[in-house]
Amino acid sequence: MHVAVFSAKRYDHRSLLAANEAAGARHQLTFHEAHLSAATAVLAQGAEAVCAFVNDTLDAPALEALASHGVRLVALRCAGFNNVDLAAARRVGIQVARVPAYSPEAVAEHTLAMILALNRQLHRAHARVREGNFALDGLMGFDMRGKTVGVIGTGRIGAAFVRLLQGFRCRVLAADPYPADEVAQLGATYVPREVLLADADVISLHCPLTPQTHHMIDADAIARMKRGVMLINTSRGGLVDTRAVIDGLKSGVIGHLGLDVYEEEGDLFFEDLSGQVLQDDVFARLLTFPNVLITAHQAFFTAEAVGAIAAITLENITCFEARGQAAFVISTEKLA
């Protein structure tokens, strides 16, 4: 099958070509650096499938354009699918598949890395030591032991994160409309989200971005939090109202902020913009805080996860070619 791969970086070429080789080199992959959108969909001409990533825009115009060029499958090489208009995909006869689980541990471990780095201010300590400044003033952290960690969303990644927390002897609170037995058995206590917001010293977001979860962390939610709380978002930028979070940082309610995702990351992340003037003033403000640590959507980025993403993406494409049904189709039943 001819597959047009969008937003393709060198590591995507390597991992997808290796997975295609391993699957008998049955597919023809064409790589495009461009993001997928209505404007770039024409690049998929001649392809029956497109392979897309987190910041590609698969809205109705893009899907209509893809369908007009003969595309029948969107194979997302990620878990989240908030960037796809599933109703429009069904209307134009395009199947949408994703990689539901590749390495929840990769994201959970990055979450933990952000918490520890922010707590012990490793980002500042590293810069100081390189400048020959060995003073400790301003670098005091806190013991994780005994602290309350609130986990919002306890699916695959949230559960993996709770497993990692076992080693720290923290008290774990969880909020999820569908509580998981495994997470409760690990000692986490499910509570209403308002209780979690009020009690947690560290809050970590692990739920998908949907119309219901958009800006779940807004001014009202921040007003409920403990003064000095640490907020971590490795899920999707839209869960957090960035302007409200900036106000929370300025007032001191938010004591530490760790972001691997950002509402407007589509214009920034995954690109080297170091020689350019940053146009996003909200993002630029975030960068001025000493207690903010930002990574550019790299939580998934381990060798194991990238290899698994490529293998499952190829499996989706192969199954679609063989049976007309990808291995991990995103169900649109509830959209009926």
- Contact set with ligand NAI (CB under 6 A): 79-80, 101, 104, 107, 152-158, 175-178, 206-209, 212-213, 234-236, 260-261, 297, 299-300
Residue 75 three-state SS: strand
Q: Is-catalytic flag, 98?
A: no
Q: Which of 27, 77, 297, 315 is catalytic?
A: 297
Please check whether residue 98 is in contact with residue 76, taking contact to mean a CB–CB distance below 8 angstroms.
yes
Length of the chain as a residue count: 336
Q: Which of 236, 256, 263, 315 is catalytic?
A: 236
Q: Is-catalytic flag, 271?
A: no
CA-based nearest residue to 18, from 322, 318, 313, 311: 311
Q: Is-catalytic flag, 156?
A: no
Nearest approach, Cβ of residue 207 and ligand NAI (Å)? 3
As beta bridge partners, residue 205 has: 152, 233
What tokens were used for 325? 């049904």
Residue nearest ligand NAI, Cβ-based: 155
Q: Which of 48, 263, 265, 315 is catalytic?
A: 265
Tell me whether residue 51 or residue 79 sits nearer to ligand NAI (CB atom): 79
As beta bridge partners, residue 229 has: 254
CA-based nearest residue to 77, from 55, 92, 93: 55
Calpha distance 190→242 (Å, rounded):
27
Q: Give the CA distances from residue 335 to residues 87, 89, 91, 332, in Å, rounded to whole numbers and listed in that order.
A: 7, 11, 11, 5
What tokens were used for 306? 């990238």
Cα dihedral: 111, 295, 211, 208 (round 10): -30
Nearest approach, Cβ of residue 177 and ligand NAI (Å)? 5
Q: Give the CA distances from residue 246 to residues 204, 261, 281, in Å, rounded to whole numbers and listed in that order.
A: 17, 15, 12
Nearest approach, Cβ of residue 155 and ligand NAI (Å)? 2
* Number of neighbouring beta carbons within 10 Å of residue 282: 13
CA-based nearest residue to 252, from 223, 283, 280: 223
Nearest approach, Cβ of residue 191 and ligand NAI (Å)? 11
Phi first, then psi: give them for residue 195, nearest 5 degrees.
-65, -45
Nearest approach, Cβ of residue 295 and ligand NAI (Å)? 9
Q: Tokens 């209307």 identify what position?
A: 91
What tokens were used for 271? 């690109």
Query: Where in the sequence numbering do the catalytic residues fall?
Result: 236, 265, 297
